[in-house]
Amino acid sequence: MAERSKKILLFWDCPECGHSHVEGPTQRCPRCFWWRDRQVEFYEANDSRLLTPEEEAQYTRPDWICKVCGASNADTGQPVAELLCGSCNSWQTNSLDLGSDRPEDANVGAQVATVRGQWQEGFRVDEGATSPPPPPKKSGGLGKKIVAGAIALGIGGTGFGAWQLFSPDIIDAEITQRTWTVNVEIQEQRPVSGSGWNLPSGAYNVNRREKQRTTRKVQTGTTTENVKVSYQAQTGTKEQCRTTSDGNGVGTRTCRDVPVYTTKYRTETKTIPVYRNEPVYDTWYTYTEDKWGTQTTVSNNGVGDSPRTAPAFTLDNQPYPERSRPPQEICYITGQFEQDNQVSQEQWSLPCAQYDRLKLGETVTLERQGDKVKLADDTADK
């Protein structure tokens, strides 16, 4: 699409005193007389207008930037030797070793702020249009802090509750009894029936048969079906414009027509495959295998510091092979302590290494969790 360009008037706001809507080519703020420099950002407004032919002829060159103070000055076509800054009255070539090069031009080609208002045919601004309302102010940090604080409080509260729920009780208890048990598990190897798609190693009395394991889809042909298909159809054009700064308070507004598309639908005939489910067979095994399982547990009990010896037992291997597992020691203490202004007594299990360090009548600090305890100051068994 062919592009169309026109020159329009831009505006700027004074950063020194805040005076707004100063016509672009104006070099100085009408309120505080601050001299416009290259940092000023031009923008379009509702009353941005097309330049007259005389104005277009006047504003053909970007402003030049003073080498000394950085102020913008209108370029009237003078040679560099005759350039005098209107802000600081400095010649651009002098004894201050400014050189004989021409000063830099103001920024050219920078895109200006989006137009505020609607452009009509011939690039004219609708005089009745109003600027859109300013964007809503971002919510202050206080609100965010309050929400964040509430969330943190909720998380903190949850964490505290969890800590209370899972943390152990700390109690001071007098040891009134010490007992221990040594358990030995006796296992026997029994024949066990099993079945499955895989045959374990060592299985016997094996039977095999074919059995459906799953299904698979097999194409048997095709059929046709009418389906609704979407597509993009051009329904017209719209004008798309952008404005860039000429570096002197006016801008070049370039527009072109771009296509507008709409989603439409049509019916198409589609070929669709037809499938049937076909069974898939595999080998199913039934078998017998020998597995170890618990037959019984024998125990030996004792008190105090008596040797913790395993119970005596005999493996008779009848009617099945038998074996014993390693002995398991379990130590218990009974403690008396005060709770809710009453004297209570409970039995707990604890690591035998800690049990061996305790004596009857001794008062110790314990961490209690359920029916288990450990010494509160112990680090060796953590």
| Tens digit of each residue's pLDDT, the chain (382 residues) | 688 999 999 999 999 999 999 999 999 999 999 999 988 999 999 889 999 999 999 999 999 999 999 999 999 889 988 899 999 998 988 766 777 888 899 888 888 886 444 333 333 333 333 333 443 444 444 343 333 343 344 444 444 344 344 578 888 999 999 999 999 999 999 999 999 999 999 999 999 999 999 999 999 999 999 999 999 999 999 999 899 999 999 999 999 999 999 999 999 999 999 999 999 999 999 999 999 999 999 999 999 999 999 999 999 898 999 999 999 999 999 999 998 889 999 999 999 999 999 999 999 999 888 888 888 876 444 4
Does 264 reside within a domain? yes
Does 70 reside within a domain? no
| Claim to verify: residue 195 and residue 277 sit in the same structural domain | yes
Q: What is the pLDDT of residue 1?
A: 62
Q: What is the pLDDT of residue 211?
A: 96
Q: What is the pLDDT of residue 358?
A: 93
User: How many domains in the chain?
Assistant: 3
Does 42 reside within a domain? no
**Interatomic CA distance for residues 250 and 55, integer angstroms:** 10
CA dihedral 366→368→373→377, nearest 10 degrees, is -30
Does 77 reside within a domain? no
Q: What is the pLDDT of residue 263?
A: 96
Does 207 reside within a domain? yes
| Claim to verify: residue 327 and residue 264 sit in the same structural domain | no
Q: What is the pLDDT of residue 72?
A: 93
| Claim to verify: residue 175 and residue 307 sit in the same structural domain | yes
Helix (H) or strand (E) holding 291: strand 250-303
Q: What Rg value do the Cα atoms of the chain yield, rounded? A: 47
**Interatomic CA distance for residues 200 and 196, integer angstroms:** 9
Q: Which two tokens stand for residue 173?
A: 């208890």
| Claim to verify: residue 149 and residue 220 sit in the same structural domain | no
**Which of 64, 85, 84, 87 lies closest to 74 in space, CA to CA?**
64
Residues 6+ apart with CB under 8 A from 109: 244, 245
**Which of 373, 355, 372, 377 lies closest to 179 in space, CA to CA?**
355
| Claim to verify: residue 303 and residue 357 sit in the same structural domain | yes
**Interatomic CA distance for residues 113 and 124, integer angstroms:** 17
| Claim to verify: residue 265 and residue 147 sit in the same structural domain | no
In this prediction the pTM is 0.44
CA angle (169, 174, 175) in 5-degree steps: 105
Range(s) of the domain holding residue 272: 190-241+259-288
Does 58 reside within a domain? no
Q: Are 308 and 323 in contact (CB under 8 A)?
A: no
| Claim to verify: residue 179 and residue 317 sit in the same structural domain | yes
Helix (H) or strand (E) holding 372: strand 372-375
| Claim to verify: residue 179 and residue 264 sit in the same structural domain | no
| Claim to verify: residue 197 and residue 282 sit in the same structural domain | yes
Q: What is the pLDDT of residue 81?
A: 87
Q: Are 87 and 131 in contact (CB under 8 A)?
A: no
Q: What is the pLDDT of residue 293?
A: 94
**Interatomic CA distance for residues 147 and 306, integer angstroms:** 63
| Claim to verify: residue 263 and residue 313 sit in the same structural domain | no
Q: What are phi and psi of 243, to 5 degrees?
A: -120, 135
What DSSP designation does 108 have? -
Does 33 reside within a domain? no
Does 250 reside within a domain? no
| Claim to verify: residue 311 and residue 175 sit in the same structural domain | yes
| Claim to verify: residue 199 and residue 181 sit in the same structural domain | no
Please name every residue paired with 186 in a beta bridge, in sequence order, or none if there are none: 296, 324
Q: What is the pLDDT of residue 138?
A: 40
